[in-house]
Chains A and B, each alone.
Chain A
Amino acid sequence: MSFLEDFEKTLEEKCRQHEPPFCQAACPFRLDVRTMEEKWKKGRFNAAYRTYQNTVGFPGIVAVLCQRPCEKACVRARVDAPVALGLLEEATVRLARRKDPNAYNLPSKGRKVAVVGAGLSGLGCALRLCNKKYEVTILEKEPVAGGRARRQMDPEAFDAEIRNQFQFETPDWRLGQEVTSLEPLMEEFEAIYVATGPEGPDFGLTPDPGGAFASTRPGIFLGGGRTGSDSMTALADGLDASLAVERYLKTGGMNEPFRPRGTRLELNLSLIEKKEPVRPADGNGFTQEEVVAEIGRCEKCSCDACMKACDLMRTFEKTPRRLWEEIYITIHPGTLSRDGTWATRLITTCDQCGLCKAVCPQHIDFGEFFLQSHRAMRKKGAMPWPFHDFWLRDMEFSSGEARVCRKPEGVEKSAYAFFPGCQMAASDARYVTRSYEWLRSRRPDTALWMTCCGAPAEWAGEEELYGKHLETLREEWRGLGEPTVIFGCPSCRKLFARYLPEIPGVFLSQVMLAWGIEPAAPEAGAEFSDTYAVFDPCTSREFPELQESVRQLMDAHQLGRESLPYEKEKARCCGYGGHIGIAASAYTRRVAHLRSQESQRPYLTYCVNCRESFAGQEKEAVHFLDWLFGIHGNRRLPSTVTEKRERRLEAKKWLLEHDWHETVQEEPRMDLKVDKELERKLSESQILVQDMEDVVAHCQETGGGAVDPETGHIIGHHKIQNITYWAEYEILPEGGYKLWNGYSHRMNLEGE
């Protein structure tokens, strides 16, 4: 069975999205309280009354007699006090002005049905069949209709409600006429509903388990108090039994399906905020304002935990089932032309943050499903290469040219190794160099292990590449003497914990807390705040020790902190999203914007990518190392892709020279002048200045390119791996070049 079928089964068995709310499940009539809520909160009592009438048949009776099992079931009964649904229903009947039933101007169906017993059950069945223009005869031994229910309330009000609901119908009322045998009726009528009440005769009928309300005799149905129901259930039976009767008249079948009872809904009660119940000021019934206030306490219980929390599901308005369907037809397109592959980009849009699983009461893991889908698409060769190309090249760089994996000189075996990951040095070489110097000041044998954790391969669904990379990491770790790894990046830690569980790991912040670090004084121009909102990176979700250590460091050094609405195990993606920024750039920008708005306070985070993401939104934010080292301050700009590469090499050079006393010869670079603004523009399209240097070098070598006669600039192109880059440049009279513009495309010019 493939993962697709497995996940479908998981959804069927576990997902509670379509389960009814608790009140509806407990209600004999299955009153749709979520629909009523919409009407109540707007004060639309006529509309609310119509829904109520369509559900219960006789609102004026049910609002009085119902024992309100809904209130016992209400989720608020377990939190504060149930929503007063009984009083809301009573107010609906009292405040609605249009209480006439619908008059259906239809011809008679000419089919005759007998209802034996004019209690609520028989009346309900008769009313519904009359509405549909069956010719109904009601037989009752008593001189008045109503049975036991009429004795439980004001008989005048009861009679008035019966008259009201039947005002446009013309059943044949045969009151005071006792039925002793069904045989004569069977000749006159095509179907019979027997609802003779708890004490009434059953005419020797036996219920048939093959259909709702069916007896073993064709055309004869049983329900109400006769089968042990209370008044309200008896009425609900009668209303439902009309459907069984109609099915028989139309098809001859006695197999009306039994309607499911109950609900499998589960809610996290701790998320429900307490709200003071509203009581009628006059002690009797709600006013319109009181109705609106009380229904404001309704939680509209439904399981949409994932859809509320997950940015992807909310933005693209996908239900769990819908996501499964779209991904299924994308992986198994129904047509040869692959018309169904419309979720390709969607599959790439999941940032693997894991929030769906954290908020789901059943812990359904959509992230894992997306990842498996990604791998399946990759295996088929159906995932467009540009979605991951840039990051796979970056991985090659981090684990190649920029890699350092060394023990300090003279050390045989390191007890610790610092693993900053690729992005710390990319953001600022000092994050790595200063951290490493500090670590070595406490534990001189600490090794440096600066390489890629393999995340780009994992996220791209490149199983083979990632497998090989893991093997390399394992060997490198053994070579360092199997040290405990000090992680600087929670993403690296997450992947190591999952795929290299034999490697023990801690976080830099934990070590800093345990070994005692003193924050440095801020450098000139670096402005910090007294209080920060702590932004937990989504990759820290499974590491409470990390989340706690950063908070404790702040507390230990009197840095104020505040909480965000989604934090710790409910941490949300900052919008950086790793690889998804390329496939779904508008989406990631939107998420980053939303996240940056969650507090007016500047953010303190401990993932360099989160900080980059907020900087892109001009949100004041710091990495915790900014604060500890006193660098940058709150208003640092985001880094360009070029800077990110250069800084990694810068960190490597500094460390090799400083810690290993090696002279690093820098490769001679082309003298290409690029304005910072242009570098930022190129960065938005993931274009490196080095790519532009390659294009210029290529054009100069071949003499190729076009010349703009207006400016004299040369505009030429060069294909590097998959992407074609264009550079507009000028040859400077003093030597060297100036870049004026750059752009790239994914499609290939034929023959290149």
Chain B
Amino acid sequence: MPEIDGGGRDQRLKEALEKRVICRRCRVEMEPKKTFFDYLGHNFHTEVLCCPQCGEVFIPEKLVNGRMAQVEQELEDK
């Protein structure tokens, strides 16, 4: 199963993980956690910020419009 971040070299990914956000429900700081995605029959994973208690996920715009959009496009062309 491929890693979405290509070995964690992507600066935007690091930035995405360094941002401090609080889970609205549990009032605790979100932490990086391996999270699974699927698209067009392909599965992959990356670390994104999650609530350690309820599992609420946070994905920032930079990651969505950056690396995630890139992977989406690659899979569409595959």
Contacts and interface: CB of A to CB of B under 8 A. Distances in A.
Contacts of B19: 708
Nearest to A741: B61
A241 B68 CA distance: 63
Contacts of B78: 338, 341
B68 A745 contact: yes
18 contacts: A341-B78, A345-B77, A384-B75, A386-B72, A387-B76, A583-B76, A706-B23, A706-B24, A709-B21, A709-B22, A726-B64, A745-B59, A745-B72, A747-B37, A747-B38, A747-B39, A747-B68, A750-B35
B20 A709 contact: yes
Interface of A: 338, 341-342, 344-345, 384-387, 583, 699, 703-710, 714-717, 726, 741, 743-750
Which 10 pairs between the two chains have the least Cβ-Cβ distance?
Answer: A747-B39, A750-B36, A706-B58, A706-B21, A384-B76, A707-B22, A705-B24, A743-B61, A747-B37, A745-B64
B16 interface: no
A682 to B, nearest CB: 12
Contacts of A710: 20
Given A341-B78, A750-B36, 4 more contacts: A345-B76, A743-B65, A747-B38, A749-B36
A747 B72 contact: yes
Given A386-B76, A704-B56, A726-B59, A748 B38 contact: yes
A451 to B, nearest CB: 31
A706 B56 contact: yes
A746 B24 contact: no
Contact of B30 (A387, A706, A717, A741): A706
A744 to B, nearest CB: 7
Interface string B15-49: 00001111111000010000111111001000001
B30 to A, nearest CB: 6
Contact of A714 (B24, B38, B40, B49): B24
Nearest to A708: B21
A726 B21 CA distance: 15
Q: Chain A interface mostly helix, strand, loop or mixed?
A: mixed
A454 B49 CA distance: 42
Nearest to A338: B78
A715 B21 contact: yes
A320 to B, nearest CB: 22
Contacts, number: 83
Contacts of A384: 40, 75-76
Contact of B39 (A709, A714, A716, A748): A748
A705 B39 contact: no
A706 B40 CA distance: 28
A717 B50 CA distance: 13
A726 B69 CA distance: 14
A743 B59 CA distance: 10
Contacts of A385: 40
A703 B24 contact: yes
A138 to B, nearest CB: 62
Nearest to B27: A707
Nearest to A703: B25
A709 B28 CA distance: 11
A726 B61 contact: yes
B39 to A, nearest CB: 4
B24 A344 contact: no
A192 B54 CA distance: 93
Nearest to A343: B77
A344 B49 contact: no
Nearest to B30: A706
A744 B63 CA distance: 11
Contacts of B72: 386, 745-747
B49 A706 contact: yes
A475 B69 CA distance: 42
A341 to B, nearest CB: 7
Point out which of A715, A726, A746 has the most chain B C-beta atoms below 10 A from its C-beta: A746
Nearest to B44: A747
A707 B72 CA distance: 27
B60 to A, nearest CB: 8
A645 B8 CA distance: 41
B36 A715 contact: no
A344 B77 contact: yes
A492 B47 CA distance: 47
Contacts of B30: 706
A750 B77 CA distance: 22
Contacts of A699: 24
Nearest to A705: B24
Contacts of B58: 706, 715
B77 A342 contact: yes
B38 A750 contact: yes
A744 B64 contact: yes
A337 B76 CA distance: 14
